[in-house]
Structure 1
Amino acid sequence: MSASSGSGQIFRDGEVDLAYRAKWWTSRIAIYAILLFWTVICLFPIYWTATTSFKMAPDVMQGNMVPWVDYQPKWLGWRSLGLSPDTIGVESTVRDEFLKRFANSAITALASSALAVALGSCAAYGLSRFDYKFGFMRNPDISFFFLSQLILPPVVLALPFLVLYKSLGLLDTRIGLILLYTLTVLPIVIWIMRDQFGSIPTELEEAALVDGLSIWGAFLTIILPIALPGMVAAFILSLVLTWNEYFFAALLTSTNATTLPVMVASQTGSQGISWWSMAALSFAAILPLIVVGVLLERYIIKGMAAGAVK
């Protein structure tokens, strides 16, 4: 090969390499641009809620968005809840009511989510490891039966639950909401955990049984630790759904067990909606979920990677 042909080959290889690098950088920039755009869309409601809690009425109506540029932030929304720096140390009836309803939401959401994960994990383990037969129904039919409970809209169940809870004395009680919320999220937990247990090899349990463990022993000591990421993912999803539930909380409670979503929806008056108060209350309500999501992010990722969430 002559020197000119060799240099031509090197030039062509350089062009190919340069084109490949340009294509690679273009694709990466496009992907990150799309991800950044989607991040802005997802985080904008939180940003709007947080900034609106510091706006005055004219700022809300005019749609001012950037603090210290479009408007001067004020503590109007937080002052209405007794949570501003100048009212936090003063006795406030509204703040006491907020803390009471915050406690109601926390207790009912945490208890129902934990109970749903416990019961749903047992049901999902049975569906993934044993064969059941109830008439014409087999394991896939039973799994779909659980999922089908989500098809009915809540308004269809309103009257039956209202009559049932009145007869059982569960109206306006935390235990009533806990039981109802557990039933609400149980089908989702069962489907999530069934996929999680299905991804775990059965040889692990067989080895544990050979070593002398019982079925329950193998389930508690071998399977559950492996399925922990999926359980955490199911717990967080259940927590979000029960924390934000409004319909049954408004229907079945009145004073003692009222939750935060009901309080948020009540921020209206004769002069219209108090957007600043509603925004402050909403941000205070979603802040615990944000903290939980950040702290348990690694478990969520592991659960999704293991096929626990579809």
Structure 2
Amino acid sequence: MIEMVIEQRRRDLGGFEVGRVLPFAQRRMIGPFIFFDHMGPARFTAGFGREVDVRPHPHIGLSTLSYLFDGAMTHRDSVGVTQAIRPGEVNWMTAGKGITHSERFEELRAHGGPMDGIQAWIALPNEAEEIDPDFAHHAAAELPAYESDGLVARLIAGEAFGARSPVKTHSPMFYVHWALQPGAKAQLEAEYSERAAYVARGSVEVDGHTYGTGQMLVFAPGQPVVVTGVTPAIVMLLGGEPVGERFIEWNFVASSRERIEQAKADWRAGRMKLPDADDDEFIPLPEPAPPANPMS
């Protein structure tokens, strides 16, 4: 039933720690999901520095999906959108042929408080890789929800459990938020060929084994999966149908290495428009590290 367990790898991004789950060396993607970061959990004191903000940077060939359990952040992008996101809401940005954006923490900086959420990247299918960039925000009340016997479920994106999210996706996929009380049971159906569950908080039992915070369970296809809450738990379900091989380098995703090289050249040369509200700074393209000196 469980093909693999992926442990998050904690990384400090400069005053803010994330748990990197995807891509993983032995499992690069789950359906179209090619990147999965657990942002936090963290608690900030009012007045923290701007180094925590994510300065303007580019993307191609993907959609980014931001979803929070706690806290708030503000998205700014090169199509002219400035949009705050709070718990239970969705920020869905489609990069297509190219977009730049930043993520700021003005509200937390002013008041302090917790920060906890997930940012995922969804690779676009071949026919959508070069579409025009776009952005959409969805309030929590817009998302299909279900509650019964210790389970609260929200369909964030895609289709699952007979429901469809209003978030506009480009390939068959699903992304679901489950909140489970101890002893509550919920079943993930076998309708997609690639499926996984990430334990964002607490612990759950699957197939007689207990799994905890920071673990992603990758499921074999073809069989339903029953998840039981051991402690109060938050579980993120994700997956869908594969979109084909994808290359990923820095913030770029594409079906060819040539397209990524073009995007790198465009960013290096300043050919990608910055967000209007962020035209005074950006993240430079990381340059390859020089080869090691064999004499050192």
Q: TM-score band (shorter)?
A: under 0.3
Higher RCO structure (Cα 8 Å, ≥6 apart): 1
More strand by share: 2
Q: Which entry has the higher C-alpha Rg, 1 or 2? A: 1
- Which structure dedicates a bigger proportion of its chain to helix? 1
* Normalised TM-score (structure 2): 0.23
